[in-house]
Structure 1
Amino acid sequence: MNIPITERISPAEAERLCIDAAIAAGASAPAAESIARAAVAAEAEGQLSVGLAHFIDYLDALEAGRIDGTAAPLISRPAPAVILSDAGGGTAHLGFDMAFDDLVAAAESFGVAIFSQRNAYTAGALGYFVGRLAERGLVGLAATSGPALLAGSGTTKPVFCTNPIAFAAPLEGTGLLVIDQASSATAFVNIRAAAERGDTIPEGWALGPDGKPTSDPSQAMKGALLAFGGERGANIALMVEVLAAGLSGSNWSLDAPSFTQGARSPGSGLFVAAIDPKLFTDGFARRTGRHIDRLSADFGLYVPGRTKAKARLKAEKRGLEVSVDTLRRIRSKLP
C-alpha cells in the first residue's frame, strides 16, 4: 500500500488553516493573517523551507512566548519619508502590513521612503516584503537580522544571523525581478532540514563547534554557518546588520535570543526601502524589462523571480502539493 507523502490543498484553504492554527496558538487575528499570507505565498512560489514547514516555527514560537501573538506594533512617523515600527515582541509582518499603504504613498510623494522595525520575530522569506512593493510599481530593498548563526570575516564563531538581503523591481511584460539571498552560503533552515533527513551538507557551508569545516548538519548547527564568497559575503552580512539592527535599535545578532528555543523574542530588525522609479526616469519598467529580456534571450541569464512567478501561477491553478507531515503538524495545533 502506497502512503501519500503530499496532499493537495488550495492556497485559500492553506491560508485559512494557518490562520486558525495561529489563533489557536495565541495569535491575534491580524497577526495570524499576516504570517499566514507570507507563509502561503512562500509555499506557492516553491520556497518550501520558508513556507508552511517554517510556519510551524511560528506556531511553536507563539506557544512558547518567542512571539507575543497579541502585540500591537507601535507605528511612528519621525519624518514624512520615515516610518518606524516597534513590533513589541510580535511578528515581523504585522507592523509592515499596518504601514504598507503609508510607505507606498510616501515613496510616491518623496521618491524614497524607509520602513524600519525593531523588536520582532524573524521575517521568513524576505523577498515577500520587496515583492509587494514591486507589485505597486516601486523598487524595493530589504535587510533583516536575527540570532547569531554565521561566522564573520576572520572569525570561527557565529557573530551574525544569516542576514539576508532582498531586492525587487517591476518589469513591464516580464513580471517582477526579485532577488532574495542570505549572506550565508545557505539558509539555516536548509541545514536544519538536512539534519532532519539525515543527509550531509556540502563543504563550505559550515564549521563545526571546533571551528573546522564540517559536512555534518548536526555539527553545523552547533558551530557556525559560513558566508558565501568568503569575506565578501561576510561584509554584506555586516552591512545588513547595520541597516537592520543598527538603524532600528534592534538586538545585535550576538545579543539576540534563539528563534527556535526559549521564551524570549529574538528582537530582530527589519529595514525596507521603497523607491518610486517614476520620479527618477521615464519608462523604468519598460526599459528595464526589455534589458532583462535581452540578457535572458541573448546571453542565457537566469532571471531571479521568474521561476517563483511560474510556481505561483501553477499553485493558483492546481493547488499546493504540501507534505502530509507538515499539514499534520499544523492541524495538530487546532483546538
Structure 2
Amino acid sequence: MAEEKARLSVAEIRNIAADACLACGASAATAKSLVEATLSAALRGRPEVGLPHFIDYLRSFVEGRIDGKAQPRMQHPLPAFIHSDAKGGIAQLGFDLAFEDLVKRARTFGVAIFSQRNSYTAGELGYYVRRLAVEGLVSMAVANAHALMAAAAGGKPVFGTNPLAFGAPLPAPQAPLIIDQAASATAFVNIVRAAADNVAIPEGWATDEAGAVTTDPAKAILGALLPFGGYKGANIALLVEVLSAGLSGAAWSLDAGNFRSGNEPPNVGLTVIAIAPAAVDPSFALRSADHFGRLQELGVHIPGSGSAVEAPNDADEIEIDARLLEEIRGFRSG
C-alpha cells in the first residue's frame, strides 16, 4: 500500500521542524542549522537523509545522544586548519559557524581544512560540499559513524557507512557537480525504511547476525552492512575513517556510540577540505562545464548537474510522508 503523502510549503516545514527541535531541548542556533541542512537535503540533495533522518535527531535530543545546547569550540592549530570540538552537539552547527572563515582561508592559502570531533552524525554530506561549490571552491567531505559495516561478508561490523562527498563549481545557471555516496552498498536509512515497509532488500547490501548475506531488512538491522565493490569499498571506508576520525581526534567507528540508541553523544568525526581552483585556473568552472558536456554526450551521468536550484522560496512546496509529518508534529507538541 502506497504511503499517504502531504504537501506543505517550505515555510510550514521550516516552522514545524524548528519548533520540534526547540521542544526537544535544542538551542535556536542548533535548530536553525539542523533545519536548513535538512531542507537542503530534501530539496537539493538526497531526500532519504533529509526529513526521514530528521526523526533520528529529534529522538537523540530527547534521549541524550545530542546536546542540543552545545556550543562548538574552534581552534586554529595552523593558518589553513580549523579544528572544532562539537561538544556533543550536531555536526552542522560547527561547520556553519566556521563556514565564512573556511572560505576565506581557502581563498587566501589555496586550500583549507575544517575538521571536527565529538559530534552526532554528519547527516547529508552533500550539504557541506554543495555550499562550498556555490562559493567557487572544490571540496571533499568525509565522516565516520559507529560500526555498522563489515569489511566483507561473514565479518563483524568495523566501519560506519563512512560516506564521502565531493563538490565542484560550474557556471550559472548550472548546479554544481555533487558526488555523495557511502562506502557501504547502501545507506543505513534505506535498510530501516525497507524494514518499516516490510520489503526485501537487494542481495549484497547486508548480512544477518551470523554473517550470512540476507535480503531481510529486519535481520540486516541486527547484522551488518556490506561495502560496495568488495574490498575496494572497504578500502574507501578505511580512507574515510583516517581522514574523519583520525584527523579530527574523534572516536574510531569501533569505539563510537550508536546514533540510534544509548544516552551519550557518539563522538564521530567530520573533515572538509576546501580548495580554490581559481588560484591556478580562473576559468575552472567553464572548462569543467565544457568537459562534462562532452561526457554527457557520451552517456556519462554527471551527479548533481543540471539547472541550478535557487534558494527555496517560502511558498515552494515539499512532499513528505504523512506518517512522518505527524511524527515530527508529535515531538513539537510532546
Work out whether the TM-score is over 0.5. yes
Which consecutive residues of structure 1, in runs of 5 or more, have no partner in the other structure? none
- Structure 2: stretches of 5+ with no match in the other structure: none
Alignment match, 1:211:
211
Determine the structure 2 residue equivalent to 1:192: 192
**Counterpart amino acid of residue 50 in structure 1:** V
Q: Secondary structure at the match of 2:286?
A: helix
1:241 correspondence with 2:258: no
- The answer for the alignment partner of 1:225 in structure 2 is 225
How do 1:32-43 residues align onto structure 2 when only pairs under 5 Å count?
32-43=31-42
Contact 1:44 1:315 in 2 (8 A): no
Q: How does 1:1-335 map to 2 (within 5 A)?
A: 5-45=4-44, 47-153=46-152, 156-173=155-172, 174-296=174-296, 298-306=297-305, 318-335=316-333
1:334: Cα distance to partner?
1.4
Deviations, residues 19-77 of structure 1 (Å, cap 9, x unaligned):
11101101000001001001111111362321111111100000001000001000111
CA distances 1:150-172 after superposition (whole Å, capped 9, x unpaired): 11258611000000000000012
User: Which letter does structure 1 place at the counterpart of 2:189?
Assistant: V
1:29–1:308 CA distance, 2 compared to 1 (3 A):
farther
2 CA distance for matches of 1:205 and 1:315? 37
Shift of 1:18: 1.0
- After TM superposition, give the deviation of residue 17 of structure 1 in Å: 1.5
Q: Could you say what the CA RMSD is over the residues aligned between the two structures, in angstroms?
A: 2.0
d(CA) in 1 for partners of 2:92, 2:312: 25
SS of the equivalent of 1:334 reads helix
With normalisation by structure 2, the TM-score equals 0.95
Could you say what secondary structure the match of 1:142 adopts? strand
Distance 1:133 1:111 in 2: 14
Change (3 A) 1:155 1:274: farther
CA contact (8 A) 2:185 2:204 kept: yes
* Aligned partner of residue 123 in structure 2, secondary structure: coil
1:57 to 1:35, Cα distance in 2 relative to 1, 3 A: same
Task: Output the CA distance in 2 between the equivalents of 1:86 and 1:42.
Answer: 24
Alignment partners' CA distance in 1, 2:51 and 2:328: 8
Partners of 2:186 and 2:3 in 1: CA distance: 29
Kept after mapping to 2: 8 A contact 1:150/1:162: yes
The answer on whether the counterparts of 2:65 and 2:266 sit within 8 Å (CA) in structure 1 is yes
Q: Distance in 2 between matches of 1:308 and 1:323?
A: 26
Distance 1:316 1:236, change over 3 A: farther
Letter of the structure 2 residue corresponding to residue 9 of structure 1: L
Q: What TM-score results when the alignment is normalised by the length of structure 1?
A: 0.95
CA contact (8 A) 1:118 1:250 kept: yes
- SS of the residue corresponding to residue 331 of structure 2 reads coil
User: Aligned pair in 2 of structure 1 residues 155, 104: CA closer, same or farther (>3 Å)?
Assistant: farther
Q: Distance in 2 between matches of 1:105 and 1:304?
A: 27
Number of equivalences? 332
Q: Any idea what the Cα deviations from partners look like across 1:207-238, whole Å, max 9, x if unmatched? A: 11111110011111111110000000000000
* Contact persistence 2:56–2:260 (CA under 8 A): yes
Q: What is the distance in 2 between the residues matched to 1:267 and 1:87? A: 9
Once the 2 structures are TM-superposed, how far is the Cα of residue 309 of structure 1 from its aligned partner? Answer: 5.3
Q: Using a 3 Å threshold, how does the CA distance of structure 1 residues 4 and 212 change in structure 2: closer, same or farther?
A: closer
